[in-house]
Structure 1
């Protein structure tokens, strides 16, 4: 792994925040320091850029404990765990984040921490532009020894690791009492004891005559005075360096449940979320508009089809069945060709186009029937009007382009009827 940044968080205002950048490849500290409080996390943005960030929770802000798993609860263990601890906790389990650290048969080793604290830490880190890869207890980052404890003093408190999933943060004033309360027997060894002192303490020596029964504590900072246990010094190191190395190899990570990390691709898509939502709404609106438009055009096309078939049956009553639109077009074109003649100058249609302006000017006259004789080159129509003068007006207008022969006019009641024959001027 490349360089990474380790930050030991704090839960109280004005409590210092220690940090360290460690390089596993070079086996050395790249940078380290201490912030006054969480509000100064943005000062570490440069170190967090392009580096994984491990955040350590002070052991005093969480509870590391174990609970017996009831039979048949294995498959739903994550959901059941908080309620198995309900009687042992003074708080509502819904306000607590319970994370399974290790399962050993019917025993579950868990870490319990308040939601509000995790949310405050993650918010502070997010505001500083940091994405946390691991969130884990600081005491579980100390070296792990089989059958013995490891300990180091940090900020006036002792971090003690008991096992893979157990540890505490203790004030030196009650560290001794806590050690005495552990299941493993304790031997009180005082540096510089003389032989006569050993004889004077003969009862204690008898109890601890078997060295295998003594609780061995490996310490990386000066051992506390007058505290029971067999304290064995290890090569001294910076405590934050020790914790950083442990954080790198630790499998513990409290980012589970509602705090589970999202895949990397979601992180890159997050800034585009609002754009994607807006684009999605635009696409939905366009599709909806298109659907409405298509439905409207389909409805209009059906109306046009129905109207065209109505006109077709009205003009050509001999064709009542219209199997398709192409059939309708063929019949209309065929009828137009028949009426229009072989070229534009022949057929009835050119005649009708020529007389239409005159007929429109004498709107009081109505054409009741029309007959075209192509062989004789004449157009005959029967018309009716309310006055004789309407026929005279029409004859005058048509005489400009045609030879007009007007038949006898008859008046029946209030209507005047008559026939008009038109021939083209030679």
Structure 2
């Protein structure tokens, strides 16, 4: 169920503002009035989360039907201000022209238009936005009266004024002080009234729609769904409003975006560091291969295959003992940190592998010796010497001869 807020604003700053909150199934939720437009801020909270429609007093809007030289088109729309220039009392640049529905009269094309003072209309929209009231529709109030048969006047009383509609595109607001003269000049064939009309002069037969008497704004709201005209067009077309879900989640989404950017940046930095380490390890692998096989040409892209081939060659020359010792020694790396071999020498006759090692401290050597002995190797540890922040020593691994 969607709730709407209806606000009726008069041209006079002293005239009361009437408002109504209702649902799409025509249930009245709340209604009231404020003394003047100066209290418009009181409606700011009520407008939040509700679709807002502003009814502008028909006294502020002049409706006209213009006869056209041809069927309505874009070029005629651009020429319309010049076509109206002689019919306006003020400068055409000071008038805002809103376009209604095209039609025909006596087989000639016509266009319905609405005129209002551009500056006053702009000030009204600015005032609504200042109070955070997003009105997507602004409609002349009397245009929401039911259209009657030709020559019949529809009317309803609101705050001491009478809203009137004659035919499809003729509206006005009259007051008791001069309304009688106006109605005599208008000469309707019949007056259909939707509120008590004892104060109206008897210039034509009156038809009371008593079964439809209710709050004026509630009555007008019933015709909103059939209305197709909106003053908010052209220069005053409403901006696309920010969806409520964005207002509710904006802070969280912005924080999440910042966190995501930070995460991507951190991951990018980590990738750079890993690439740098990979290049360093690649250089160390090349250097180790060149030291082990000084007469061989190194091909970086094929280094893994070259090492595999060399190891197979060693195995083929009955030096498989070296591979066994080296394999068991390499397994130490996954268990011990701060442990770096510097040179390897293999004695084929004794099946002995001698490794000169650089470690963080003396305890590392003891840890390595224990691990290798658990693998069934005979381990001899040579002398250990301090070298600055590290310890240098030799480890001898012996397998079966």
Shorter-chain TM-score bucket reads: 0.5 to 0.7
Partner of 1:324: 302
Deviation at 1:327, TM superposition (A): 1.7
Q: Could you tell me which residue of structure 2 aligns to residue 279 of structure 1? A: 256
What is the TM-score when the length of structure 1 is the normalising length? 0.55
SS for the counterpart of 1:231 is coil
Instruction: Report matched runs for 1:214-225 at 5 Å.
Output: 215-220=188-193, 221-222=197-198, 224-225=200-201
Gap regions ≥5 residues in structure 1: 187-214, 350-359, 361-366, 380-399, 403-423
- Check the 8 A contact 1:54/1:133 in 2, yes or no: yes
Change (3 A) 1:340 1:259: farther
User: C-alpha offsets along residues 328-351 of structure 1, whole Å, 9 cap, x if unaligned?
Assistant: 552575689759736549xxx9xx
Decide which structure has the larger Cα Rg and report it: 1
CA-CA distance at 1:144 after TM superposition: 1.0
Deviations 1:291-337 (A, max 9, x none): 34324433542454245335433542313334435325525756897
How many residue pairs end up in the alignment? 324
Alignment-derived partner of residue 112 in structure 2: 109
Distance in 2 (alpha carbons) for counterparts of 1:101 and 1:281: 48
Structure 2 gaps of 5+ residues are: 331-341, 354-379, 383-397
Aligned partners of 2:267 and 2:84: how far apart in 1?
A: 58
Instruction: Give the aligned partner of residue 136 of structure 1.
Output: 139
**Alpha-carbon spacing, 1:344–1:255, altered in 2? closer, same or farther (3 Å):** same
Aligned to 2:172: 168
How big is the alpha-carbon RMSD for the aligned residues of Structure 1 and Structure 2?
5.3
Partner SS, residue 55 of structure 1:
strand
Task: Give the alignment of 1:274-423 within 5 angstroms.
Answer: 274-317=251-294, 318-330=296-308, 338=319, 341=322, 344=325, 374-375=348-349
Q: CA deviation at 1:275?
A: 3.0
Structure 1 residue aligned with 2:17: 17
Instruction: From the superposition, tell whether residues 53 and 217 of structure 1 become closer, same or farther in structure 2 (CA, over 3 Å).
Output: farther
Deviation string 1:119-167 (CA, Å, 9 cap, x unpaired) is 32355473xxxx7575321110122113223234433433221333331
Q: Distance in 2 between matches of 1:289 and 1:91?
A: 64
Structure 2 partner of 1:420: none
Change (3 A) 1:335 1:110: farther
Could you say what secondary structure the match of 1:341 adopts? helix
- Partner deviation per Cα, 1:232-264 (whole Å, 9 max, x = no partner): 31215356154333345433344556654868x
C-alpha contact (below 8 Å) 1:97/1:115 kept by paired residues: no
Using structure 2 for the length normalisation, give the TM-score: 0.58
Q: Distance in 1 between matches of 2:381 and 2:230?
A: 103
- Identify if the C-alpha distance between structure 1 residues 293 and 100 changes in structure 2 by more than 3 Å, giving closer, same or farther: farther
Q: Is the 8 A contact 2:139 2:229 kept in 1?
A: yes
